[in-house]
Amino acid sequence: MKRPTLTFLGTGASCGVPSYYCGCAACEEARVDPRAARDCSGLLICGLQHTLIDAAPELRTQLIRERVSTIDQVLFTHEHFDHVGGIPQLEFFVRLSSKKPLPIYASKETLAAIEQQFGFMSEVLKPHLLEPFAPVRLDGILYTPLPAAHSKGAFGFLIEPQGEESPAAPTSTSPPVRVAYFPDTGPLPPQTLKRLSALDILIIDATFNGKNWMPDSHHTIDEAIACALALGAECTYLTHLTMHYDKPITLEELKEKLKPYQGAIRVAYDGLGVPLS
């Protein structure tokens, strides 16, 4: 029986690392060390099927890198370009390969924005409305959309493989894993926080370093660490990292900063795979 895995397709913010226009220490590090380079954020969840969370502008190269040739459904956190810019790259997969409309799942605000921005994709996408706190089961995994503090209608997802009911989930010898994915959020809303107890894995916005340019809709690395400690997840991954606003931090420096947490708080990187069992 196949155990589901989660793969970080991208772990950067919209500017990416390196940013083509930037010569800071973090960008220079990423130019010489590909492990420090970051695409825009997205996740791939592989069970029996391939499920995407978001479609970054670099989706094509991300899928080639991960040797993925089919996609069964896409869930969207929100409609900002760094999360939906890869939607047009799904067109010819649908028209020439799967030959059936691709199911997409998002809030009403995000679905409306996708329709408005990518109207030419309407015949290849099959929209499904997600309501806050109302889970959907896809490939034996329960996805619960939880409001994020970001744009209107923005979600994070609680991701729970469903034990024996799931064809893709682990057998009864390993308990189901609870994962929360919030790539874009400021301080989490109280109703969302209530749902995030006993997490095995928290994946959280750590956009800024130093000063927070958008304190209502993103975290700094320090705020992400505080959120991780408050929620007490077994393991937290920092994601959606600019690594250079408003102060550059290299990957080496960030790893050093996280050392006191002894592996409980880690920095995500593009291509990192995590078993969900």
Residues at the contact surface with Zn ion, assessed by CB under 5 A: 22, 24, 27, 80, 82, 184, 244
How far is Cα 14 from Cα 9, in angstroms, rounded to an integer?
Answer: 14
Nearest approach in angstroms of CB 122 to Zn ion is: 23
Write the secondary structure of the chain as one string of H (helix), E (strand) and C (coil).
CCCCEEEEEECECCCCECCCCCCCHHHHHHHHCHHHCECECEEEEECCCEEEECCCCCHHHHHHHCCCCCCCEEECCCCCHHHHCCHHHHHHHHHHHHCCCEEEEECHHHHHHHHHHCHHHCCCEEEEECCCCCCEEECCEEEEEEECCCCCCCEEEEEEECHHHCCCCCCCCCCCCCEEEECCCCCCCHHHHCCCCCCCEEEEECCEECCCCCCCCCCEHHHHHHHHHHHCCCEEEEECECCCCECCCCHHHHHHHHHHHCCCEEECCCCCEEECC
Nearest approach in angstroms of CB 27 to Zn ion is: 3
Nearest approach in angstroms of CB 185 to Zn ion is: 9
Nearest approach in angstroms of CB 182 to Zn ion is: 11
Nearest approach in angstroms of CB 268 to Zn ion is: 14
| Nearest to Zn ion of 81, 92 (CB atom) | 81
| Nearest to Zn ion of 7, 239 (CB atom) | 239
| Nearest to Zn ion of 9, 169 (CB atom) | 9
Residues 6+ apart with CB under 8 A from 99: none
| Nearest to Zn ion of 219, 244 (CB atom) | 244
| Nearest to Zn ion of 20, 173 (CB atom) | 20
Nearest approach in angstroms of CB 112 to Zn ion is: 16
* Residue 146, token pair as written in the block: 């939880």
Nearest approach in angstroms of CB 256 to Zn ion is: 19
| Nearest to Zn ion of 142, 249 (CB atom) | 249
| Nearest to Zn ion of 178, 244 (CB atom) | 244
* The dihedral formed by the CA atoms of 247, 252, 253 and 254, expressed in degrees to the nearest 10: 80
